[in-house]
A and B are shown apart, each in its own frame.
Chain A
Amino acid sequence: MQYQWDFGFLLQYKALIGVGVLYTIGFTIATAVSGLVVGCLVALLRLSHLRAATWVVTAFIEVFRCTPVLVQLVWCYYALPMLTGLELTPATAAFLTLTLYGASFYGEIIRGGIISVDLGQWDAGRALGMRRSQLMRRVVLPQALRRMVPPLVNQTVLQLKNTSLLSVLAVPDLLYQGQLITSASYRPLETYTMIAVIYFAILFPLTRLAHRLEARPGH
């Protein structure tokens, strides 16, 4: 039997889809920013000489890097309240999980960028009499950032795709709205195809940008 593709019906759901797009982009931006902030702290702690801090932060990174986000989300929403008595809304649990998950990867990218800067550069800054913060701000970070940007963009692409998992907590992201549309229209193929197209339309420019930034500066 020939399947009759029909995308026209999706127009009646455009408000629903719009909300989904806003949630997906909103959660991506919010957790990318919070993930980067926490990731910076994580990287600095891992680079510090405080043995206890290094140990705790390394454990945190490995737990979040080596377990599925889906499980982390479910765990944070259902298990954490049982253990701590702390009630979280689905959105808060989602934000918290994606922040920490993102931070564990962002942190390693940032740390890698910092230690990739030649030791001679640290020597040169110190020899001029720079303090640690000045050395970071003026010498190390400007060089490290250039190398960090492509992997950071890459990780942010993954971060956006991971928001699709928020649907398990009934956060109305794009995928969750798609599931609603599907159950109302019985047309999963068109609905999921549309979702893929929207994801692509958001992410493709971002990956192009990352590609541009990979080109060596000045060339």
Chain B
Amino acid sequence: MSNTRMIELIGVQKSFGTLQVLKDISLTVDKGAVVALIGPSGSGKSTLLRSINLLTVPNSGYIRVGDHAMDFSSTQTLPRDRDLAAFRARTGMVFQGFNLFPHMTVEQNVMEGPVTVLGTPKAEARELALALLAKVGLADKAGMRPDSLSGGQKQRVAIARALAMKPDVMLFDEATSALDPELVGEVLAVIRSLAAEGMTMLLVTHEMAFARDVADRVVFMRDGCVVEEGDARQVIEQPSHPATQAFLSHFHNGLA
């Protein structure tokens, strides 16, 4: 177990009823690496992402993020609420639909994790929230409600909210898929700056050009399996597997 590896998955399986969504997935992500998960819809990439912070609890396999590990291969019992919560607190997640808390201001959204989960004093949490909002370019929106923001602004608040937990890794689940095209850039710019700071990140994305330019590695999934993985530029520009080639051929117009 090398400690340069931040995420380690071994033999992860997940079924919903009779449908097997993840078939024996093993994957490692180095500390500070950016990995893009690509693949057709229904390939299991979102389920894989959600099982890394146990929003989806796998049926079997081993998952480690930083110092926290869970082994699902032996036990049939579900992990306890407290253990799940402690595990998830170490990962940040950004959703396609933003999922900001509508009954709180922007600043309160960002303070919520530290105050409720970590017990950080409010004044300290507010300072942290303002710093993170400044970092994503939204310091002036601190007192506003999420419903008065644009999609791109909401997603940047969601990123700040996740960062407030000082996570070991950040998981992005199609973070730009619900955005108007002209708002995608501002969110990608924030993700790019996190990559430059050395944040370990795993992104499910349909932005192939972004994946190629920002990710270190690309993992292509289909039907619950990892079909191909490797250097980002290599996989996207010269995929070796026919399935990867077929999938990427849909995007090549936009990859200039």
A binds B: yes
Report which A residues bind B (CB closer than 8 A): 118, 120-121, 123-124, 126-132, 134, 138-139, 142-143, 146, 218
Most buried by B among A129, A134, A139: A129
The 3 closest A-B pairs by CB, nearest first: A129-B89, A124-B99, A120-B99
Instruction: Knowing A120-B97, A123-B55, A124-B95 are in contact, say whether A130-B103 is a contact too (CB < 8 A).
Output: no
Q: Once bound together, how far apart are the Cα atoms of A139 and B86, in whole Å?
A: 18
Q: Is there an interface contact between B89 and A128, defined as CB atoms closer than 8 Å?
A: yes
Q: State the CA gap A138–B161 with chains docked (Å).
A: 15
Q: Which of B93, B99, B113 has the most CB of A within 10 A?
A: B99
**Contact across chains for B165 and A129 when beta carbons are under 8 A apart:** yes
A129-B85, A129-B165, A131-B85 given; A124·B100 CB < 8 A: yes
* A205–chain B nearest beta-carbon distance, Å: 27
Known: A123-B95, A138-B116. A131 touches B103 (CB 8 A): no
Closest CB in chain A relative to B112 CB, distance in Å: 7
List 27 A–B pairs whose Cβ atoms lie within 8 Å, in order of A's numbering. Answer: A118-B99, A120-B95, A120-B98, A121-B99, A121-B101, A123-B95, A124-B95, A124-B99, A124-B158, A126-B55, A127-B55, A127-B93, A127-B162, A128-B88, A128-B161, A129-B88, A129-B89, A129-B113, A129-B117, A130-B85, A130-B117, A131-B81, A134-B116, A134-B117, A139-B101, A143-B102, A143-B103
Measured between beta carbons, the chain A residues less than 8 angstroms from B89 are 128-129
B49-105 at interface with A (beta carbon < 8 Å): 53, 55, 81-82, 84-93, 95, 97-103
Give the residues in chain A near B53, CB-CB below 8 Å.
Answer: 127
- Nearest B-chain residue to A138, judged by Cβ: B116
The answer for the CA separation of A127 and B145 in the assembled complex, in Å, is 21
Complex partner residue of B81 from A118, A132, A146, CB under 8 angstroms: A132
A139-B101, A142-B103 known; A127 vs B116 contact (CB < 8 Å)? no
List chain B residues, Cβ under 8 A from A127.
Answer: 53, 55, 88, 91-93, 95, 162
B102 partner residues in chain A, CB cutoff 8 A: 143
What's the least CB distance linking A218 to chain B, in Å?
A: 8
Classify the interface of chain B: helix, strand, loop or mixed: mixed
CB-CB under 8 A from A132, the residues of chain B are 81
Within the complex, what minimum Cβ distance (angstroms) separates B128 from chain A? 14
Contacts of B93 in A (CB 8 A): 123, 127
Beyond known contacts A126-B55, A127-B162, A131-B85: 4 more, CB 8 A cutoff: A123-B99, A126-B84, A128-B113, A129-B113
Q: Which residues of A contact B97 (CB under 8 A)?
A: 120
How far, in whole Å, are A124 and B104 apart by their CA atoms in the complex? 13
The distance from the CB of B163 to the nearest CB of chain A, in whole angstroms, is 11
Residues of A within 8 A of B165 (CB): 128-129
Complex CA distance for A114 and B92, rounded to whole angstroms: 25
Chain B residues near A124: list those with CB within 8 A.
95, 99-101, 158
Select from chain B the residue with minimum beta-carbon distance to A139.
B101
Distance (whole angstroms) from the CB of B12 to the closest CB of chain A: 18
**Bound Cα distance A124, B158 (Å):** 9
- Decide: B103 and A128 in contact? CB cutoff 8 A: no
Complex CA–CA separation, A173 to B161 (angstroms): 54
Query: Which residue of the partner chain A has the closest CB to B53?
Result: A127
What is the bound-complex CA distance between A121 and B162, given in angstroms?
Answer: 14
The interface residues of chain A lying within 8 Å CB-to-CB of B92 are 127
Expressed in whole angstroms, the Cα–Cα distance for A139 and B100 within the complex equals 10
For residue B103, which residues in chain A have a CB less than 8 angstroms away from its CB?
Answer: 142-143, 146
Chain B residues with CB under 8 A of A121: 99, 101
User: With A and B bound together, what is the CA distance between A61 and B233 in angstroms?
Assistant: 60
Cα of A146 to Cα of B102 in the assembled complex, Å? 12
